Amino acid sequence: MSKTLALAKTHNLTPAQSAKIRGKIASLMNEHISHANEVVLGLRDWGPTQARVFSTLLNKVVPDLNASYHQHEHSVKEVIDMSRDELERIAAGIDAIDAEVIPDEDKK
């Protein structure tokens, strides 16, 4: 196991490789969804380990939406409308600014 962890730290997966692995897990999960439904309906029994493995694999394919949803608010202010405190925070690097440079039309 330690060799596998060492290899994982030195070899990053490409997005295509990650997608391929997720695809394989998704196809396996497709087979087990009906079994999980039977567990919920009380027609089949799973042990704690089986349930934990199912949950872990499911989270690899369909992550928890509560954990992955982030709401970002962006407000646009002109420099002249900013307070001294806001400007000092930006200058100190406390508030990062993601901005897109839009060239003036008259300078083209």
Q: Answer yes or no: is 79 within a domain.
A: no
Question: Are the C-beta atoms of residues 17 and 24 closer than 8 Å to each other?
Answer: no
Angle between the N-to-C axes of helices 48-61 and 15-41, in degrees from 0 to 180, rounded to the nearest 10 = 140
> What span, in angstroms and rounded, lies between the C-alpha atoms of 29 and 57?
7
**Tens digit of pLDDT for each residue in 28-57?**
888 888 899 999 999 999 999 999 988 888
Q: Answer yes or no: is 95 within a domain.
A: no
Q: Which residue has the tokens 């919920």?
A: 40
Amino acid at 13: L
**Tens digit of pLDDT for each residue in 54-74?**
888 888 777 666 555 555 566
Q: Answer yes or no: is 29 within a domain.
A: yes
Q: Answer yes or no: is 103 within a domain.
A: no
Q: Answer yes or no: is 108 within a domain.
A: no
Q: Answer yes or no: is 59 within a domain.
A: yes
Amino acid at 62: V
Containing structural domain, residue 48: 2-67
For residue 32, what pLDDT is reported? 86
Q: Answer yes or no: is 73 within a domain.
A: no
Domain count, the chain: 1
Q: Answer yes or no: is 16 within a domain.
A: yes
